[in-house]
Chains A and B, each alone.
Chain A
Amino acid sequence: MSRKLPAGIMPDPRAQLPELLLRNEGKWLRHEGMRPGVYRHISSTGEQCVTVRAQLPPNGVLSSTTYRRLADLIDRYALVGRRTSRNSLELVGVDPEKLDGLLAELTDLGFPVGGTGNSMHQIKCCGGFMHCQNAAVDSPSIAKAVGDRLFPGVVSQDYPAWLKISIGGCPNQCGGGVEADVGVMGVFKGLPQVDDAALVDARCDVPLLCFWCPTGALKPKAVRGGMSVDVNAERCVRCTSCANVCPAAIQMGGPRGVAVTVGGTGSNTGRGPGLARLLVPFISLESAGSYEPVLQVIESVIGAWRYEAKQGERLGDWVDRIGWPAFLARVGIAFDPNLIDNFSPMSVRRNLQFRWHSPTPAHPRREAWGGGRTGLAPS
C-alpha cells in the first residue's frame, strides 16, 4: 500500500453542514418546542431550522442497514443528521410540511421521537456484555428495561424538569452516571483476586499498581520469582483500578450488582455542575434480565420527584431542598451507613442544621409512584 497511514485527517465539521446552517451561523435568535421531540430555531434572517430528535438503541448500536435507512430519511425529509452528546439522533433542517411523514417513518423504524424538554432524555450507556471485557453487568439490557418501563416519559414532556439517566457497566463509568439525574453503575462485590504467578509472568509494574490504588489497599510483597501484592480487605473499595492495570493477573470476583446514584448535574444552571450522590450502594443482580429491584428504586425516585418537585426543579435540586433524610423516607429506602463516605470526611455535617424528617405523609398517589415498594424500605 502506497498511501500514508495514518493520513492525519481531522474530520471537518463544515464538510457535513448544509447551506442553511452555514449561512445562519451565529444568527440564531431563539428556539421553541413544537411538540415532544420536535423543536425549531429561528434566525434573524427570518429562516427557521426544524429539528427532530429520535431515540436510538442503548450504546448507539446501529446496523449498516439502519445507517442507510437513516440516510434515506435525511435525503427525503431533512438536510443533515446529528449525533447528540447522549447518543440520540437528530434530523436537522426538517421540512415542516413533511413532519408527520418523518415521525411516522421513524416510529416504524423503532426509533420513537422524543427526549426533548421536560422528558426522559436518551438513556446513555456503555457496551456491556455486547462489547466489553470489564463489564460487571450488562448495561444495555438494563437501559432497555429502564427505557421500556419509563417509556411514557420519553414521548411526553410532563416531568418537572428534564431527566437524564446514565448506565455504566463497571466503576469506570464509560456510560456515565455521576453526571446524570439517575445513575446506575455495575459493581463487583468481591475482592480483586490476585494470581501471584501470573502477576510475575506478566511483568506487572507493582509500584504502578500500588500508586493507582485510591485507598492504599495494595501492599507489595515478595513472591517466588518477583513481586506481587496483597489486598487489604478493610480498605478495598472495588474500584477496579488494579484489575485494569494488570488484567492478566487480577480479576474482579464475587457477586455482581449495581449501585444507584441520584442528583448529578452537568450544566452550570442553578447550583452548577456536581457529581451525583450514592443512594443505594448495592442491588444484587443474580441473573441478567431480572432488573425489577433496580426498576423499582428508579420508579420510586422519579415518582416522588414528579409528585413533589416544583416546576423546573431538577431531581438533585429537589433532594437538596427537602434534605436527604426526608428524601430517603419519600422513596422508601432505609438509610445505609455506607452512604457516609469513609475515605473523605466531607459527607458528614459540620453544622447542626439537621434536617429531621417527619414520617412520609400517606398520600393517595404514593402507591402510584411505588413509595415503599422498593424492598429496601426501613423495617
Chain B
Amino acid sequence: MDLVEGEQETRTPLCDRLMDGPYPSHVRQLRQSGYPLQMLEEGLRLNRTQWEMGGYVSVPPLLAGVSVIASSRPEIAPEMTSLRLLGVPGGFLSAKLLRGLADLADRYGDGHLRWTTAGSIEFWARRERLLEAAAAANDLGMDVGSTGDDVRCLSACPGSYRCDLALVNAPDIAYALGRATIDDQQYPGLPNKVKTGVSGCPNDCVRAQMQKDHAFVGVFRGSPRVDHEMMAWWLREGRGMAAAAGTTPPVDLEFLVERCPASAIEKSGDSVEIDPALCRRCMMCINKCPAIRPSGERGLAWVVGGKYGHRGSNGPMVGFALASFIPAVPPDYLEVVEIYKRFLDLYADYGRRKERVGDMVVRLGLRTVLELMEMEADPAILEEPSQKMFVVWPAAGSAEEP
C-alpha cells in the first residue's frame, strides 16, 4: 500500500488492507478526505460499527435533508451530520456540477461525498453550517431533502436522452413528478418513505418495480416489429462486429427463438416472425437484436409496493402493476403527475405510521386501492383470477346495492 499525494497518514492497518487489490478502494477515497478513518479501523477491529443511534432530524427551516448519527467513540469523532441532496433524474452530472459538489464537501464538510444506493448525493456537513451549505447547494441548481418519511430518491434511467430502448423520456417524467411534489420531498409528512423511480422501458434499469414504493415504467402496446432488411445487415455484419470487439458473444436467430419466454418467435427464412398474440413485451429480443424494435403506442405502467427491506409485515416485495397503460404526454405529463399525487394522498390517509406502501396495499387489498384511487380495474393487470370465491358484496340497503 503506497499513499498517493494528498492522502492522510494514520495508523490503520485493517483499513490499509482495503487499499490493496485491483477493485476500487473506498479507503483510498476516505484517506484523501478528512473522514475520521480511525472510526472505521476500530469498527473493523471490534467487528462492530462504532456509530450509534441516529436518524433524520429537522433543522428549521430544513425539515428534511439532514441526518445525524451519534458516535460511541467521541474521542475519535463526536458525531456525523450529513446533508442529503436530491439526485438529478437520469443521473447526469456535468463537470461543472462535479466541481461545485467538490467545493461544497470541502467548504462545509470533510471533503468526501457518497451516492446513496437510490441516487441521492450525501456529504458530511458541519452542524453549525448546514443552512449555509444548503444555500450554497441551491446556487448549483441542487436542493436538500429526501430523508425521513417523505418522497425519496426520485430517480430515473437516462431514458430517451441516451438510450435506444427507452420508450419514454424517463428523466423528464421524473422531473415533472419532482416539481409537482417538491414539498413532499422537503417536508416529511407521510407514514413512511416513498421511494420513487421512473424507468424508460420494462428492462427497468432503476429497479422501479423492486426498490421503489411508487413507480412508473415505460411500456409499448404494439408488438416488437422486425425490420428484415436490418436483420440481414445485423446477421451479416452487426453482431459479428460486436463479437469481434469481445463484448458480446454472437447471438443468432436460434438464440432469439430459444430464449423467448413466450415462444412467440419463429424462424422465417433468413429472419424471424413474432406472434403478437403470444408476445409478452418483455424486451428480450429487442435487447439482443437491433433489427427488432418496439411498435405502437407508448405510455407508462404504474407499479406500487416494491421494497428491499426485510421489515414490516411482508418483508421484501416486488411491486404490483396496478395500471398497464397511462398516457405519457410531454411536456407536463399531467395524467401521470395526477395519479402520482393522488396515490400519495391515499397513502397519507390510509397508511399506518411507519407502514411502507407495499404493506399498506396488501393490507387494504389491491382492488380496494384501485377503488380508492377511482381508477377502473384493467384486465391486463390480472396475473390470474382469484382461486377463492371470497367476494365482499354490498350490504343490503347500502348505497352501492343495485
Which A residues lie within 8 Å of B290 (CB)? Answer: 29-32
Contact at A10–B92, with CB atoms within 8 Å? no
Give per-residue flags for A1-41: 1 if the beta carbon is below 8 A from chain B beta carbons, else 0: 10101111111111111100110111011111111101101
CA distance A147 to B18 in the complex (A): 11
Contact at B40–A148, with CB atoms within 8 Å? no
- Is A325 an interface residue when CB atoms closer than 8 A count as contact? no
Contact at B69–A133, with CB atoms within 8 Å? yes
Query: Taking CB as reference atom, which chain B residue is nearest A85?
Result: B206
Contact at A85–B164, with CB atoms within 8 Å? no
Shortest Cβ gap from B6 to chain A (Å): 6
Q: Contacts A13-B90, A312-B259 known; A92 to B162 CB distance under 8 Å?
A: yes
Give per-residue flags for B287-313: 1 if the beta carbon is below 8 A from chain A beta carbons, else 0: 110100000000000000000111111
- Is A151 an interface residue when CB atoms closer than 8 A count as contact? yes
Query: Taking CB as reference atom, which chain B residue is nearest A9?
Result: B143
Contact at A212–B24, with CB atoms within 8 Å? no
Contact at A214–B314, with CB atoms within 8 Å? yes
Contact at A17–B111, with CB atoms within 8 Å? no
Contact at B259–A212, with CB atoms within 8 Å? no
CA distance A212 to B309 in the complex (A): 13
- Is B93 an interface residue when CB atoms closer than 8 A count as contact? yes
Contact at A288–B14, with CB atoms within 8 Å? yes
Contact at A267–B30, with CB atoms within 8 Å? no
CA distance A3 to B80 in the complex (A): 26
Complex interface residues of chain B between 310 and 368 (CB less than 8 A to chain A): 310-318, 352-355
Complex interface residues of chain A between 115 and 148 (CB less than 8 A to chain B): 116-118, 123-135, 138, 140-141, 143-144, 147-148
Complex interface residues of chain B between 147 and 174 (CB less than 8 A to chain A): 154-158, 160-164, 166, 169, 171-172, 174
Contact at B352–A289, with CB atoms within 8 Å? no
CA distance A19 to B40 in the complex (A): 43
Of the candidates B18, B259, B261, B318, the one whose C-beta lies within 8 Å of that of A141 is B18
Number of interface residues of B (CB under 8 A): 142
Among A28, A61, A285, the one with the most B-chain Cβ atoms within 10 Å of its Cβ is A61
Which B residues lie within 8 Å of A133 (CB)? Answer: 49, 51-54, 69-70
Complex interface residues of chain A between 234 and 289 (CB less than 8 A to chain B): 239-241, 244-245, 247-248, 256, 266-275, 285-289
Shortest Cβ gap from A203 to chain B (Å): 14
Contact at B101–A67, with CB atoms within 8 Å? yes
Contact at A267–B186, with CB atoms within 8 Å? no
Could you write out 16 A-B pairs with CB less than 8 Å apart? A5-B131, A8-B182, A13-B172, A16-B88, A34-B245, A41-B162, A85-B155, A117-B248, A130-B30, A131-B80, A133-B70, A176-B308, A239-B310, A266-B209, A266-B210, A269-B202
- Is A112 an interface residue when CB atoms closer than 8 A count as contact? yes
CA distance A92 to B310 in the complex (A): 36
Of the candidates A28, A245, A268, the one whose C-beta lies within 8 Å of that of B354 is A245
Q: Contacts A30-B290, A71-B98, A269-B287 known; A151 to B22 CB distance under 8 Å?
A: yes
Which A residues lie within 8 Å of B207 (CB)? Answer: 85, 176, 179, 266
- Is A334 an interface residue when CB atoms closer than 8 A count as contact? no
- Is A80 an interface residue when CB atoms closer than 8 A count as contact? yes
Contact at A141–B143, with CB atoms within 8 Å? no
Which A residues lie within 8 Å of B134 (CB)? Answer: 5-7
Complex interface residues of chain B between 1 and 54 (CB less than 8 A to chain A): 6, 14, 17-18, 20-26, 28-30, 32-33, 39-40, 43-45, 47-54
Contact at A11–B51, with CB atoms within 8 Å? no
Query: Taking CB as reference atom, which chain B residue is nearest A216?
Result: B313
Contact at B106–A83, with CB atoms within 8 Å? no
CA distance A284 to B317 in the complex (A): 26
Query: Taking CB as reference atom, which chain B residue is nearest A176?
Result: B308
Of the candidates B49, B87, B112, B259, the one whose C-beta lies within 8 Å of that of A64 is B112
Query: Taking CB as reference atom, which chain B residue is nearest A70?
Result: B98
Shortest Cβ gap from B134 to chain A (Å): 6
Contact at B70–A64, with CB atoms within 8 Å? no
Of the candidates A38, A60, A66, A129, the one whose C-beta lies within 8 Å of that of B44 is A129
Which B residues lie within 8 Å of A16 (CB)? Answer: 88, 90, 92-94, 97
Shortest Cβ gap from A316 to chain B (Å): 13
CA distance A157 to B30 in the complex (A): 30
Contact at A63–B32, with CB atoms within 8 Å? yes
- Is B370 an interface residue when CB atoms closer than 8 A count as contact? no
Query: Taking CB as reference atom, which chain A residue is nearest B238?
Result: A32
> Which of B114-122, B267-275, B371-379, B388-396 lies at the interface with chain A?
B114-122
CA distance A287 to B183 in the complex (A): 44
Query: Taking CB as reference atom, which chain A residue is nearest B22?
Result: A151
Query: Taking CB as reference atom, which chain B residue is nearest A183?
Result: B308
CA distance A67 to B6 in the complex (A): 14
Which B residues lie within 8 Å of A7 (CB)? Answer: 134-135, 138, 143
CA distance A289 to B41 in the complex (A): 11
- Is B188 an interface residue when CB atoms closer than 8 A count as contact? no
Contact at B69–A173, with CB atoms within 8 Å? no
Which B residues lie within 8 Å of A175 (CB)? Answer: 117
CA distance A38 to B242 in the complex (A): 11
Shortest Cβ gap from A189 to chain B (Å): 13
- Is B190 an interface residue when CB atoms closer than 8 A count as contact? no
Given A81-B95, A267-B203, A288-B14: 11 more A-B contacts, CB < 8 Å: A8-B186, A13-B89, A17-B92, A71-B95, A81-B93, A82-B92, A85-B207, A171-B309, A267-B205, A289-B17, A311-B249
CA distance A330 to B401 in the complex (A): 59
